Chain A
Amino acid sequence: MERVDAYPTHDYQGFKLRPGKPFPFGATFVPGGVNFSIYSSHATSCTLVLFNKGEPQPKVEIPFPDEFRIGDVFAMIVFDLSYENIEYGYRMTGPFDTQQGHRFDSSKILLDPYAKAISGRDVWGTPPNWDDIFLHRSLLVFDDFDWADDRPLEIPMEDLVIYEMHVRSFTRHPSSGVKFPGTFAGIRQKLPYLKELGVNCVELMPIYEFDEFENSRLSPETGETLMNYWGYSTVGFFAPKSGLAATGKLGMQVDELKALVKELHRNGIEVFLDVVFNHTAEGNENGPYISFKGIDNKTYYMLTPEGYYFNFSGTGNTLNCNNPVVRNIVLDCLRYWASEYHIDGFRFDLASILGRDPLGYPLSNPPLLESLAFDPILAKCKLIAEAWDAGGLYQVGSFPAYGRWAEWNGKFRDGLRRFLKGEPGVVGDIAQRLQGSPDLYASRGPTASINFITCHDGFTLYDMVTYNDKHNEANGESNRDGANDNNSWNCGWEGPSTDSGVNSMRMRQMKNAAAMLLVSQGVPMILMGDEIARTQNGNNNTYCQDNSLNWLDWNLMDSHSHLFRFYQNCIKFRLAHPVFRNRWHLSNQDRVGSGYADISWHGTQAGNPDWSGSSRLLAFMLDGKHARGGMVEDDDIYVAMNMHWDSHWFELPGLPEGKNWHVFANTGANSPEDVWETGHEPRLDDQTGILLGDRSVVILVGK
């Protein structure tokens, strides 16, 4: 049966129209045409602006007739549009009264906040025509990808090993050897590498459309163009960044990203997105009009009583996330990515901002965070907060979680780094971190803790053992940017060294870090390239560097194959042993009658850990009969960590009759005896004790 609404009722300059449907927002295909729907609480009128692709001037501007508005929503169906050849935007009319928070300017053409693809930065780094009257243009997109039998993987949180990566950085370096460097397709070509490493989740740094030219400038040091490289500044929340797709120039970025997600899923790898809802690319009162500013400034941004922009994000503006309208667009956005792109989880940049009220005060029960936690479409998505913001709110351990939210555990990073560099007095703290931080997440369990030692912010692992101080001169801010407090140690020489002693200690320290990360309860996250000693030459804030400071040099795979092998085996070992992956906190007691506590603590003497303020060593044993709260039986595990500059003899705890200690890893030994394949660990000759070299970690398996 043919539908009545497949026929137009209105005509405007030869364009056939019909009153549209307010729902869904954005541009949607309907029989015979396209439904355009957009809302503004304060606009008095709205005009749809249509362009033929790439043309400097609009082909038509169609004002929404009064009868096409319902509530605050303007909705219109336009028939017979050539969908591949159309770019669209809106003009909004309303008050310009900055004291009241209004900045309407009908001379600006505005991007649809719900645009599912955006043109204007089609190919990464191609300079735009700055005189263009409409720089970021909304495109029409078919949501008809053929997923076959794919859906989000729903790997239990406790079983994840996350790999944080930047799409462009992963394959842009010439050494990557991929056909389309720096793209979604490039990642697909390097999928065998990810599988070999053994991670089961990739967390992509921002892939929502952003403008790499935002605040671009020449480096006073190198003369290179500094860019908005990382992309923590969103232009469009529903659109994948065209410049990260090899097919972006054809407008096929949507399909390319979906094809990547599908392929990763087929290989058992989940996909998380790093999402930036705390601010947008529109800056403050001096920034450009892209979208929200001209559509409904007062609704979308947190404004001071005088109408200026609050700056809790450190980037000029702050999205007004607990306004009901803004809350809905965030929810719509995440639902869209979860359902249309099969995204498995989200990491929220500066998430504490999402818990502030419209005047910036922290809410005790933030409606946005609650909505996300209980949403049916997001029900199986992992939600991870960067639980702080640039306005001084630090909520690690206290982020409003609703039983759902996990956190980047900044205290894990800081504690492990201090222990690693040999600071005394941190073993008590370390004991908490290794257990999944029960001091922070008592009721939430270890899966609330995303454990990491390095992430995109700060030093890479190699730089953490090579530099005491940041070296950010290349960013052109006289080394003022980036964190000063890195808890790093250069092993005796600042920067690269030819001293074999220094280099072997650095290698050992990297392995120590990997080992401790991967035996901790909670969810480990590895920074891209740490497994092959990627360096940023001491730069701990490479947000603007489109060059080898960020690009992964695949030649490191040859020079650091031992380190790669160490990571690879540690990941396999973790995934083979459920005793590392408890959903609930360990009790430090024997709850299954095995004769052993689920976790027991040791020092140079078994059962006698040194908690004193000068201690730099600690050991623990995980009882295999307590794995997964006693639901499954695993081997026993013993981990000894000596962060002291002298070697120490560690007496081993006794095993049940018939079991023996076997060596899985010893970072003090030279490769290949530093680590063994799971299941092929050699039996330890002396079952009563083991000598740990200076600054080294030993992992034994009792079976």
Chain B
Amino acid sequence: MEVIRSIVQDVNVVRLAGDLDGNTTPNVQAEIMLLAIPNVKMILDMSEVVFMSSAGLRMLLVMYRTIIGKSGKVVLVGLSEDIRDTMAMTGFLDFFTYLETMDDGLKTLSD
């Protein structure tokens, strides 16, 4: 699992690549939480996530609750059809703003 961080405009972009499961989640979560400062704007680019387990879903929701709790904003981009379906069926998708592309994400966060 790779976590690639960059900053575009005033937005923290975190690109995840690989499997998000019980083994990789703790490290990913630790890295993302470092960015969860008050009023943060974050895009999580999921386009290279191959597989997401139940632990991955939970990590996303914990991250979401943390960021919202600090008046920040987070959007997901690049969800594969499989992962989006899984998130929808398990109710996790209801919490998130999710968009197709990075540009859509940047636009939403700048509005």
Contacts and interface: CB of A to CB of B under 8 A. Distances in A.
Contacts of A85: 22
B91 A255 contact: yes
A84 interface: yes
A117 B91 CA distance: 18
Interface string A241-285: 000011100111001101100110000000000000000000000
A83 B91 contact: no
Given A247-B86, A252-B54, A84 B91 contact: no
A85 B54 CA distance: 11
B88 to A, nearest CB: 8
A179 B84 CA distance: 13
B21 interface: yes
Nearest to A266: B94
B28 to A, nearest CB: 15
B87 to A, nearest CB: 10
B89 A146 contact: no
Contacts of B86: 247, 250, 252
B90 to A, nearest CB: 4
A255 B91 CA distance: 7
Contacts of A83: 22, 55
Interface in B76-111: 85-86, 88-92, 94-95
A683 interface: no
A251 B88 CA distance: 15
Given A252-B90, A255-B90, A84 B85 contact: no
B54 A255 contact: yes
Interface string A432-446: 000000000000000
A215 interface: no
Given A145-B91, A146-B95, 13 more contacts: A82-B23, A83-B22, A83-B55, A142-B54, A180-B85, A180-B89, A183-B89, A245-B89, A252-B57, A252-B89, A252-B90, A255-B92, A259-B94
Contacts of B61: 146
A256 B89 contact: yes
Interface in A225-248: 245-247
B91 A146 contact: yes
A491 to B, nearest CB: 43
Contact of B58 (A142, A180, A184, A256): A142
B89 A82 contact: no
B54 A144 contact: no
Interface in A139-189: 142, 144-146, 179-180, 183-185, 188
A188 B85 CA distance: 13
Given A250-B53, A255-B91, A259-B91, A84 B58 contact: no
Contacts of A259: 89-91, 94
Nearest to B62: A144
Contacts of A185: 88-89
Interface of B: 21-23, 53-55, 57-58, 61, 85-86, 88-92, 94-95
Contact of B21 (A84, A188, A252, A256): A84
A664 B67 CA distance: 55
Interface residues of A, number: 26
Given A84-B21, A85-B22, A144 B58 contact: yes
25 contacts: A82-B23, A84-B22, A84-B54, A84-B55, A142-B58, A144-B58, A146-B61, A179-B85, A180-B85, A183-B89, A185-B89, A246-B89, A247-B89, A251-B54, A252-B86, A252-B90, A255-B57, A255-B89, A255-B92, A256-B90, A256-B91, A258-B91, A259-B89, A259-B94, A263-B91
Nearest to A85: B22
A84 B90 contact: no
B75 to A, nearest CB: 18
Contacts of B57: 252, 255
A469 to B, nearest CB: 42
Contacts of B89: 180, 183-185, 188, 245-247, 252, 255-256, 259
Contacts of B90: 247, 252, 255-256, 259
Please indicate which of the listed interface residues B86, B88, B89, B94 has the most CB atoms of chain A within 10 Å of its own CB: B89
A256 to B, nearest CB: 5
Nearest to A184: B89
Nearest to A84: B22
Nearest to A261: B91
B65 to A, nearest CB: 8
A82 B21 CA distance: 10
A361 to B, nearest CB: 46
Please indicate which of the listed interface residues B23, B91, B92 has the most CB atoms of chain A within 10 Å of its own CB: B91
A177 to B, nearest CB: 16
A251 B54 CA distance: 8
A5 to B, nearest CB: 21
A145 B90 CA distance: 9
Contacts of A84: 21-22, 53-55
Nearest to B61: A146
Nearest to A147: B91
A180 B54 CA distance: 19
Interface in A329-369: none
A117 B36 CA distance: 33
Please indicate which of the listed interface residues B54, B85, B92 has the most CB atoms of chain A within 10 Å of its own CB: B54
A191 to B, nearest CB: 13
What are the 6 A-B residue pairs with the smallest beta carbon separation, nearest first?
A259-B91, A255-B90, A84-B22, A185-B89, A256-B89, A252-B90
B60 to A, nearest CB: 11
A259 B57 CA distance: 13
A385 to B, nearest CB: 32
Contacts of B23: 82
B42 to A, nearest CB: 19
B37 to A, nearest CB: 23
B95 to A, nearest CB: 7
Nearest to A259: B91
A228 B9 CA distance: 59
A85 B24 CA distance: 13
A258 B89 CA distance: 10
Nearest to A141: B54
A184 B57 CA distance: 19
Contacts of B92: 255
Nearest to A82: B22
A262 B93 CA distance: 13
A267 to B, nearest CB: 14
Please indicate which of the listed interface residues A245, A256, A258, A262 has the most CB atoms of chain B within 10 Å of its own CB: A256
